């Protein structure tokens, strides 16, 4: 019985050896197509650019230029409306992480208006000052001021303007007064939101 078992085991070992030595590794196949990049690609259209002037917390003067041109997903700019006004929205950044970026909205009475109110909803600027040193500037909350020289071409969607935004000490991270002056340009997509009211079927929509 023991002899039969040993013979069977030896036969299995020999068969396994023949099986493994007889298998040859096949040729490597062609490389597959590249996968989709995990980071959303940047789009460009227009800009928000200008100059930042102020005083740092250590007393050093600030006189920096910025030019933000990128946006990620969505529209280059939008125009929305309600029963009383129109609002343009534009935001641009240098990178997707928003360390250097600006977001503005402009409220006007009509789409042909050349004056309105601009809100600097957010603004961030960073600059390397050397090894392990960086200057960071941010605004606090929404900051508003009047704006003139607006231009909107309904056919092309082109929207442009220039602004000067004074900031008091509490409205920015330096704790000192500052001024952000700049201009913007964007191709605007007008949004239409239709709401049907049963009690008022003949409500006219602004266009």
State the residue for tokens 């079927």: 201
The pTM of this model reads: 0.75
Q: What is the pLDDT of residues 112-121, one digit of tens each?
A: 999 999 999 9
Please report the pLDDT score of residue 36 as a whole number: 58
Residue 111 DSSP symbol: T
Averaged pLDDT for residues 21-48: 71
Distance CA 183, CA 47 (A): 8
The token duo for 106 is: 């402009």
Q: Which residues fall within 8 angstroms of residue 91, CB to CB, at 6 or more apart?
A: 48, 71, 101, 102, 103, 104, 121, 122
Q: Which of 68, 56, 76 is nearest to 157 (CA)?
A: 76
Number of domains in the chain: 1
Please report the pLDDT score of residue 29 as a whole number: 65
Please report the pLDDT score of residue 64 as a whole number: 98
Does a structural domain hold residue 204? no
Does a structural domain hold residue 137? yes
Q: Domain residues for 157?
A: 43-190
The dihedral formed by the CA atoms of 97, 166, 90 and 125, expressed in degrees to the nearest 10 = -20
Does a structural domain hold residue 3? no
Does a structural domain hold residue 125? yes
Does a structural domain hold residue 30? no
Distance CA 196, CA 202 (A): 9
Q: What is the pLDDT of residues 37-95, one digit of tens each?
A: 557 799 999 999 999 999 999 999 999 999 999 999 899 999 999 878 999 999 999 98
Q: Which of 5-9, 40-44, 59-63, 156-160 has the lowest mean pLDDT?
A: 5-9
Please report the pLDDT score of residue 183 as a whole number: 98
Distance CA 178, CA 196 (A): 46
Does a structural domain hold residue 121? yes
Q: What percent of the chain has pLDDT over 90?
A: 66
Please report the pLDDT score of residue 9 as a whole number: 46
Give the model's confidence band at 30: pLDDT under 50 very low, under 70 low, under 90 confident, else very high: confident
């Amino acid at each position: 019985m023991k002899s039969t078992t040993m013979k069977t085991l030896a036969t299995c070992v020999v068969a396994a050896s023949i099986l493994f030595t007889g298998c040859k590794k096949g040729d490597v196949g062609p490389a597959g197509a590249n996968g989709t990049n995990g980071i959303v690609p940047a789009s460009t259209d227009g800009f928000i650019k200008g100059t930042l002037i102020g005083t740092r917390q250590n007393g050093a003067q600030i006189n920096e230029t910025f030019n933000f041109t990128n946006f990620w997903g969505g529209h280059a700019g939008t125009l929305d409306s309600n029963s009383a006004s129109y609002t343009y929205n534009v935001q641009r950044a240098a990178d997707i992480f928003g360390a250097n970026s600006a977001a503005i909205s402009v409220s006007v009475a009509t789409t042909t208006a050349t004056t309105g109110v601009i809100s600097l909803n957010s603004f961030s600027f960073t600059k390397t000052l050397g090894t392990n040193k960086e200057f960071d500037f941010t605004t606090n909350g929404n900051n508003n001021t009047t704006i003139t020289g607006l231009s909107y071409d309904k056919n092309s969607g082109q929207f442009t303007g220039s602004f000067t935004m004074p900031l008091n000490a509490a409205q920015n991270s330096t704790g000192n007064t500052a001024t952000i002056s700049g201009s913007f340009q964007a191709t605007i997509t007008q949004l239409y939101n239709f709401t049907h009211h049963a009690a008022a079927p003949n409500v006219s929509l602004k266009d």
